[in-house]
Amino acid sequence: MLFSYVVKNERGKTIDGSVEALSQEEAVESLARRGFIILSLKEASFGMVKRKGEPFFLTKHVSLKDLVFADRQLSMMISAGLPLVEALEISSGQTTNRYLKYVFLKVADDVRGGATFSAALARYPHVFDEFFVNMIRTGELSGRLKEVLNYLADEEEKDYNLKKRLGGAMIYPIFILIAVVIVVIVLMTIVLPNLVSVLKETGVSLPGPTRLVVALSEFITHNYLRFIFIVAALIIGFFVSYRTRGGKLIAERIVLKLPVLGSLNQMIYLARFTRSLSTLLVGGLPIVSALEITAKVVGSNLYRKTILDTAREVEAGHSIASVFLRSKDVPSSLSHLMLVGERTGKLDEVLSRMSDFYALEADRILANIVSLLEPFIIIFLGLVVGFIAMAVIMPIYTLTTSI
């Protein structure tokens, strides 16, 4: 449990901070041993410890890139034998993010004051999520902090590389899409109306594709405010519904049923689930606690529900694979392997190997998506532009042949 406190030190200075303890009595004893006079002590929910005198920051955003770099440096320094406080202060000096610099210095101060590393990190949940904090806590309890820091740095690097690859794969298609949309708008709002007015004066009958494009063009030009309102309402409605739990579940189910993108998302979620649960079990966490933490960091409401249901089943004395065997969103191979791992006492090893397998599968699917995405979008946009061009050229051809 995490307790926030306001105390006076030996010099009479009022300071605030947090302390981790199993009970309030243990927290009182811990503070008393450090020579503090307790003014206030209360249990703090995760990340809600009050911080006084925090300087103003324009933004408290810490990018994944900044976090990967800082955590990698921290893990290397701890592995080299530097004391934790000194490693935190050096990491603070190396990062370019002002807020992360401040956070590392505050964490170093808390650790120097007697707080555990995990309790100090828990005060900044928007920088260090609950999975990160609990992994650090298991590293402290098991004496494997170096290994845990290396693991966290590796996993953050994998997440960062995956996001960079996805972002890089989408740059070219998005650029082409924007260019084509601009061209289509110009054709339908400027070129086509002028051409149609000329054709109507000649009395030439317009072909079917031209009439369709003209009708759409007239709707946009005469009702552009209504068109913008409809598009904006649809976008806002989508985002509002997506923010609800039911909306997210529906959206995730739709995405998971898509031919290629669904497989990619499934592999990413399964890799994250197996990797996180394996590491927490190796760190010594009880299986129910490990499942509850994993559910919070898996990144999917659909899988979160499945994992929490599994935690309740395990707590009731059932097998860890009982819920997974009934779920349509979990491959039966994973469920059966987990069952074997549970029976043989090698569940963490089975999960670790499955994590590597799903990560490789996600990389393979992503590579296929990247290779197919560009030609697919080019063909699709080519058909759209070709249809509009045909709608423009056909009446001109009809006019020239009739003269």
Nearest to 281 by CA among 153, 144, 375, 117: 144
Q: pLDDT at position 1, please?
A: 53
Cα–Cα distances in Å, from 28 out to 24, 34, 36, 202, 301? 6, 10, 9, 94, 39
Rounded Cα distance, 158 and 164, in Å: 10
Give residue-wise pLDDT tens across range 343-371. Answer: 888 888 899 899 889 888 888 887 787 77
Rounded Cα distance, 326 and 287, in Å: 20
Rounded Cα distance, 159 and 291, in Å: 21
Query: For residues 307 and 291, is the Cβ–Cβ distance under 8 A?
Result: yes
Rounded Cα distance, 271 and 355, in Å: 5
**Model confidence band, residue 45 (pLDDT cutoffs 50, 70, 90):** very low
Backbone angles phi, psi at 221, to 5 degrees: -70, -35
> Which range, 45-54, 150-159, 164-173, 201-210, has the best average confidence (pLDDT)?
150-159
Rounded Cα distance, 44 and 51, in Å: 12
Residues in the chain: 403
Rounded Cα distance, 88 and 84, in Å: 6
Rounded Cα distance, 162 and 268, in Å: 10
Q: 40: which 2 tokens?
A: 């206030």
User: pTM score, two decimals?
Assistant: 0.63
Q: 317: which 2 tokens?
A: 């004395």
Rounded Cα distance, 403 and 391, in Å: 20
**Model confidence band, residue 47 (pLDDT cutoffs 50, 70, 90):** very low
Rounded Cα distance, 20 and 346, in Å: 31
Query: For residues 321 and 335, is the Cβ–Cβ distance under 8 A?
Result: yes
Q: pLDDT at position 289, please?
A: 85
Query: What is the H or E stretch that residue 58 is in?
Result: none
Range list for CATH 1.20.81.30 in the chain: 174-403
Q: 287: which 2 tokens?
A: 């299986």
The residue to which tokens 């006492």 are assigned = 345
Sequence-separated (6 or more) residues with CB below 8 Å from residue 94 = 69, 70, 73
Rounded Cα distance, 278 and 356, in Å: 11
Count the Cβ atoms, other than its own, within 10 Å of residue 172: 14
Range list for CATH 3.10.20 in the chain: 1-53
Which CATH class for the 174-403 domain?
mainly alpha
Nearest to 37 by CA among 46, 45, 24, 28: 28
Query: What is the H or E stretch that residue 316 is in?
Result: none
Rounded Cα distance, 216 and 202, in Å: 22
Cα–Cα distances in Å, from 46 out to 42, 49, 50, 127, 137? 13, 8, 11, 13, 14
Map residue 16 onto helix, strand or coil: strand
Which CATH class for the 1-53 domain?
alpha beta
What is the 8-class DSSP label of residue 328?
Answer: S
The residue to which tokens 């985002």 are assigned = 239
Give residue-wise pLDDT tens across range 286-323. Answer: 888 888 888 877 878 888 888 999 999 988 888 888 88
Compute the C-alpha angle 298/304/307, nearest 5°.
100
**Model confidence band, residue 327 (pLDDT cutoffs 50, 70, 90):** confident
Rounded Cα distance, 102 and 251, in Å: 38
Give residue-wise pLDDT tens across range 104-162. Answer: 888 888 888 888 888 888 888 888 877 788 778 777 776 778 877 887 787 778 777 76
Rounded Cα distance, 248 and 241, in Å: 8
Q: What is the mean pLDDT of residues 370-395?
A: 77
Taking the chain, what is the end-to-end CA distance rounded to the nearest angstrom? 89
